[in-house]
Amino acid sequence: MNFVLFHITVALYLLATFAYTSYLFSHNKKVSGISNKILVIGFLFHTVAIITRGVEAGHLPLTNLHESLSVFSWMTVVIYLSVNARYHIASLGSFVAPFALLLLITASFLPKEIVPLVPALESYWLYIHVPLAIFGNAFFAMSFLVGIMYLIQEHYLKSKKVGGLYFLLPSLDVLDELGYKCLTYGFPILTAAMITGAVWAEYAWGSYWSWEPRQVWSLITWFLYAALLHGRLTVGWRGKKAAIYTIAGFMILLGSFLIIKFLALGEHGRL
């Protein structure tokens, strides 16, 4: 059952991506409304798909890469929908929808079977640590997308070609603030994920910190974003510099994720 729902979700996100793209070209406000509606319907199917899978598995569907990517995609959409509800930036959807779709398509190529929990995952911390980790990453993904929008908008302003996407994208100030806001959520959540992960590791491996690859990479990400936040708050790294840094930070995060996953390094290899 969850597969059917999953594929309906993929189809709807694909449709939403087309709709948002046509919004970018048509500049028609109505189209953006329709795109949002399609995305919301897709999101509802996605929610039901995840719940159904959880019920079928008998545990939180966060135990392999297929499941985590699906939840990652879901959380990105959650963040977009709440941002849009407050700031009314439908053009952000043009970046979020394809991103969410890409995650789901990647997930669809991965092993999808529901497997029973291995002993190491048999813990309540699974229900706290993993969602936090994914949620934090979803905020970083969002800051990455906003960073790209910032660079595009900046390009329009610099080249003085006021046209194209210029009127659809929010102002540089709003984008800058939004990117920063994503970090102020992402960073504490990443920290919370690291702390809960440490507590779990203490119970499971006998040590809260063992320089395991995923731990080290999360620490690296933590250092990077800590540096960015300090640079922003006190030295005044703003605008383009912050946007480029945010994009680079997420690239590093994504790269480390893929390296650890596909070289199956450490105990985290399965997620």
Partner 1 sequence: MKKNEIESNQTIIDKAGNKIWNFFSSLKLIITVFLTLAVVSIIGTVIEQGKPPDFYTKEYGEKIAHYVLSIGFHDMYHSWWFLILLALLAANIIVCTIDRFPQKWETAIEKKYGAEPRFIKNLANSAHFTVSGDVHDIKIKVAERLKKKRYKIINADAADGASIYAWKGVIGRFGSDVTHVSLILILVGAIIGNFWGFRGYVSINENDAVNAPQADFKVRLDRFWIDYYNTGEVKQYNSLLTVIDNNKEILTKQIYVNEPLIYKGTWFYQSNYGVAYDRIREAQLILKNKKENKQIGEPFKVKWYEPFKIPGTNLTVNLVGFISDFGFDEKTKQIYARSLEHNNPAIAVVIYDGDKPISDSWLFLNYPDVFATIPNSDYNLTFMGYSGLYYTGLSVNNDPGTNIVWIGSILMTVGFIFAFMIFHKRIWVNIKRGENGVDIYMGGMINKNKILFEREFSELVESLKAKWEVGK
Amino acid identity for residue 180 in this structure: Y
Residue 104 vs 201, nearer CB to partner 1 = 201
CB of 209 to partner 1, least distance (A): 7
Cβ atoms of 193 and 221 within 8 Å: the answer is no
Q: In this complex, which beta carbon is closest to partner 1, that of residue 11 or of residue 195?
A: 195
Distance CA 222, CA 207 (A): 20
The smaller minimum CB distance to partner 1, of residues 162 and 235, is found at 235
Q: Which residues contact 171 (CB under 8 A, 6 or more apart)?
A: 153
Number of H helices and number of E strands within the chain? 8, 0
- With respect to partner 1, which residue has the nearer C-beta, 46 or 268? 268
Closer residue to partner 1 in complex, CB, 51/219? 219
Shortest reach from residue 49's CB to partner 1, in Å: 24
C-alpha span between 187 and 245 (Å, rounded): 14
- Closest distance of CB 43 from partner 1, Å: 26
Q: Which of 200, 189, 222 is nearest to 268 (CA)?
A: 200
The least CB distance from residue 255 to partner 1, in Å, is 10
From the list 218, 191, 196, 223, the residue with the least C-alpha distance to 208 is 196
CB 200 to partner 1: min, Å: 8
Contacts with partner 1 by CB under 8 A lie at: 115-120, 122-123, 125, 173-174, 177, 181, 184-185, 187-188, 191-192, 195, 198-200, 202-209, 211, 213, 216-217, 219-220, 223-224, 226-227, 230-231, 233-235, 265
Q: Whole-angstrom distance between the N-terminal and C-terminal Cα of the chain? A: 23
